[in-house]
Amino acid sequence: MAVDASTSARGDLILKNLTKSYGEFNAVDDLSLVIPKGSFFALLGPSGCGKTTTLRMVAGLEEPTSGSIFVGETEITDMKPYRRPVNTVFQNYALFPHLTIYENIAFGLRRRGISEAEVKTAVDKVLNLIELPQLASRKPNQLSGGQQQRIAVARAIVNRPALLLLDEPLGALDLKLRRQMQIELKWIQTEIGITFVHVTHDQEEAMTMADTIAVMNKGKIEQMGTPEELYDSPKTSFVANFLGQSNLIPGEVSGNDGDNLIVDLFGTKVAVPKARSSALGKSVLVGIRPEKFRIAAEGKSTHGNVLTGGVVSDVSYIGVSTQYQVEMPSGKELMVFEQNDDDEEMLRKGAKVVLSWEPTFTFALDGSENVSAGSH
Amino acid sequence: MAAVKGASAKVFGLKDNKSILPYLLLIPGLLWLALFFIVPIFSLGQMSTKVAGAQTGEFVQGYRFANYVDAFNASTEQFLRSFLYGILATIIALAIAYPLAYAIAFKSGRFKNILLVLVVAPFFVSFLLRTIAWKQILGEEGPVVSVLRTLHLISDTTSITSSAFAVVTGLAYNFLPFMTLPLYASLERIDPRTLEAAGDLYANGFTTFRKVTVPLSMPGVVAGTLLTFIPAAGDYINATILGSPSNKMLGNVIEARFFKIVDYPAAAALSFTLMAAILVLVTIYIRKAGTEELL
């Protein structure tokens, strides 16, 4: 079999109104998305949000109920998996246990009838890229988890697909190795310039590697953007809570001073940049990331937005920072992360405190959002 | 507590009584093997070189190794037939069992357990009865003959009992579960994601089967073929019930020598020869199956 014309399709990955239903349940619900060629794209969401189903439809392992999938100009919706210009790094790697590492990597090349000499060149090259040339004659079960992971990546990228799909590729590795592999995967992607579509439930992993993240929930995309955009200006409470942590405080818009909305939070007026508000009406949820708060003992001088009358209800010291739980007069519990970078004394449980923060660090969601959606 | 442990260790004369546990667990099996395998093998070996004594049924040790040559020369035909029938029955059983095991492992869904019970169900009937039933099925009034005659595949006078066909299919039928179960076990263990991975790496359905499913099921193929071939080659019941005198296998010869002619040394020599031949063949087979070429 010569190299199939269809496998040479190149370009952006385009999903149009993609839906996958199981009976009444829509695992993926009318999803439309353009993933630019050459990008590192992450589909992030909790388990059951439809991210893996989306990936499997792109790979051809799952048939869409409706909608279509394109790579550049070529429609691949009904194409058999083995005809698609797509390769996958499977969760738990799915290496062929009966074949050597060399033969595992050569598998895709051989199916396309590439000459023995070219197979050898390509396999050697990719083994050098992942820095494991000495493992060529081993069997998969003789390798460590991290090595198997890299072989799984090598087995896929050696085929130079238009698109590399990664299904929770680092889930089986321990934390330290995971960090290392995140950097390595990002480096490989930059090196070979193939579009990577990475499915994960780990927000830190997505933020470390991806240029663009789509946060998925209940078969739909909640929000899409760069890691910075999603973290600084979440548009829904799900994104605000799933990507990092957020304090969401209900309030009423009472006016504006040009660039800022003035919001009344239980009687205290705070400023929120208009650019970072996605509120539709007067009722809003004011969002402040826990590390943006400054915490000080009552009576100390403060600036910016200020909330008074808090009482420390819990303290946990975790080395780089101290995490405080602060109960406000309204009964609302707020989370505060304070860097341990000064010699200020740690506040004790029961201490009366005042919280303040820079108005630019505030975002606002529409008041109809569910405060606890997407919480860990 | 520590004192008790120390005392018990002293009783056994070992530092740690954990280390003798595996040996204790081996004892029943070893005793069984010694009593019912090693001892009979020895007495069979001794018998195989004995010569006839003064009375009928009495044999004295004469270390006559020519017994082997004589017995083999007298039954070369049955000897070769045993292997031919055994191999044919194994091939037929493999051809039937592989798709069956594949379907149960990958396509049966919630019917998996029922189908597995059905595979083993024939074992609830005795081996002898099953073979007699097979004779009924292939017999003059049976469904197989009437279908074949209606289709004019055989003439009205041709019979299919008392034939090599009946013996070989009987063997295949009787040992089918021995083939199916190990095949099922090895197919069921295959991670479906490796099959998906093959598809993802440009292998179509057939190539995936050939390059991934078959190699990964080889342990089951080897186990199944051995479990079928070894008893089939030594079997005599199928040839007795389903075959004609021209379909006799080595098992029939051994049986006749033991119980009809009362020539124990020749029977013992043939038993040993059969065992050795199977051992050699199986060794070659396992070595071949272990290499990449066979895959």
Domain annotation covers residue A196: yes
A52 and A127 share a domain?
A: yes
The pLDDT value recorded for residue A353 is: 93
Domain annotation covers residue A239: no
The pLDDT value recorded for residue A114 is: 92
Mean pLDDT to the nearest integer, A225-237: 94
The beta-carbon contacts of B109-117 under 8 Å, at least 24 apart in sequence, are B116/B184
The pLDDT value recorded for residue B204 is: 92
The pLDDT value recorded for residue A1 is: 35
Domain annotation covers residue A374: no
The pLDDT value recorded for residue B16 is: 56
The model's pLDDT over A318-337, given as tens digits with 9 standing for 90+, comes to 888 899 999 999 889 999 99
Residue B231 near chain A (CB below 8 Å): no
End residue of a domain, out of A232, A264, A293: A232
C-beta neighbour count of B57 within 10 angstroms: 8
The pLDDT value recorded for residue B6 is: 46
A226 and A303 share a domain?
A: no
The pLDDT value recorded for residue A4 is: 42
A125 versus B158: the higher-pLDDT residue is: A125
Mean pLDDT to the nearest integer, B8-22: 61
Domain annotation covers residue A241: no
Model confidence at A65, pLDDT cuts 50, 70, 90, reads very high
A216 and A330 share a domain?
A: no
The model's pLDDT over B197-227, given as tens digits with 9 standing for 90+, comes to 999 999 999 999 999 999 999 999 999 999 9
User: Which residue in chain B is spatially nearest to A97 when comparing CA positions?
Assistant: B216
The model's pLDDT over A21-61, given as tens digits with 9 standing for 90+, comes to 998 899 999 999 999 999 999 999 998 899 999 999 999 99
Model confidence at B3, pLDDT cuts 50, 70, 90, reads very low
- Please, what is the average pLDDT of chain A? 90
Cβ atoms of residues B236 and B256 within 8 Å? no
A248 versus A300: the higher-pLDDT residue is: A248
Which of A82, A155, A156 minimises the CB distance to B203? Answer: A82
Residue A18 near chain B (CB below 8 Å): no
The model's pLDDT over A184-219, given as tens digits with 9 standing for 90+, comes to 899 889 988 899 999 999 998 999 999 999 999 999
H or E element, residue B59: strand B59-61
The pLDDT value recorded for residue A211 is: 93
How many structural domains are present in chain A? 2
Residue B14 has pLDDT above 80, yes or no: no
Model confidence at A372, pLDDT cuts 50, 70, 90, reads confident
Mean pLDDT to the nearest integer, B68-79: 92
Chain B residues touching A94 at Cβ < 8 A: 191, 193-194, 196-197
Interface contact B199-A7, CB threshold 8 A: no
User: Which residue in chain A is spatially nearest to B195 when comparing CA positions?
Assistant: A94
Residue A18 has pLDDT above 70, yes or no: yes
- Please, what is the average pLDDT of chain B? 88
A222 and A253 share a domain?
A: no
CATH number at residue A319: 2.40.50.140
A3, A110, B106 from A113: Cα distances, Å: 7, 5, 29
Residue A47: give the domain boundaries.
Answer: 5-232
Interface contact B193-A91, CB threshold 8 A: yes
CATH number at residue A51: 3.40.50.300
Which of A91, A97, A108 minimises the CB distance to B202? Answer: A108
The pLDDT value recorded for residue B15 is: 54
Chain A residues touching B212 at Cβ < 8 A: 96, 98
Mean pLDDT to the nearest integer, A156-179: 89
Residue A337 near chain B (CB below 8 Å): no
What count of CB pairs under 8 Å joins A to B? 67
Specify the fold of B64-289: MetI-like fold (1.10.3720)
The pLDDT value recorded for residue A8 is: 58
Domain annotation covers residue A242: no
The model's pLDDT over B109-119, given as tens digits with 9 standing for 90+, comes to 899 999 999 99
- What three-state secondary structure class fits B65? coil
Nearest-Cα distance to chain B for A190, in Å, is 23
Residue B293 near chain A (CB below 8 Å): no
Q: C-alpha A270: how far from its chain's center?
A: 31
The model's pLDDT over A83-101, given as tens digits with 9 standing for 90+, comes to 999 999 998 899 999 999 9
* Substitution target from A63, A107, A141 for chain B, most B beta carbons within 10 A: A107
pTM given for the model: 0.80
Per cent of chain B over pLDDT 70 is 92
Residue B210 near chain A (CB below 8 Å): no
Nearest-Cα distance to chain A for B289, in Å, is 13
A222 and A289 share a domain?
A: no
A214 and A71 share a domain?
A: yes
Domain annotation covers residue A175: yes
DSSP string, B191-235: -HHHHHHHHHTT--HHHHIIIIIHHHHHHHHHHHHHHHHHHHHH-
Domain annotation covers residue A215: yes
Interface contact B199-A97, CB threshold 8 A: no
A219 and A261 share a domain?
A: no
End residue of a domain, out of A206, A232, A258: A232
In chain A, residues 90-119 whose CB comes closer than 8 Å to chain B: 90-92, 94-98, 107-108, 111-112
The pLDDT value recorded for residue A3 is: 40
Domain annotation covers residue A347: yes
